[in-house]
Amino acid sequence: MRPKAPSADTALILGVVSVVGALATCLVGFLGIAAIIYGNKAREEIRRSGGMLQGSSEATTGIVCGWIGTILASLWVVVMIVLFGMIIAASPD
């Protein structure tokens, strides 16, 4: 059995945590950026190993989840800005 690229599992964990975190609170969702970085690093390690390392599916899943988590977190930030803007605009002077 071939060894797995260490960054692949890291990307997968960060990606999943970023999606779950983005659904709970917006700030944790930005861990998706780290998942994208680690996923790309793992894919590069796997490509350079010439078939000696595995973990490409974990790296790809981490990248995809990282993007989803980052997008969800960004949407949360936009929604919060709009809501606070509406509250400020509606408050009596």
d(CA 39, CA 10): 8
Count how many residues are written for the chain. Answer: 93
Q: Which residue, 68, 59, 61, 69, is CA-closest to 38?
A: 59
Residue 93: pLDDT over 80: no
| pLDDT tens column, 36-84 | 999 999 999 999 999 899 999 999 999 999 999 999 999 999 999 999 9
> Quick check: pTM over 0.85?
yes
pLDDT number for residue 2: 87
What is the pLDDT at residue 4? 92
Q: Let me know: does 61 contact 32? Beta carbons within 8 Å.
A: no
pLDDT tops 80 at residue 26:
no
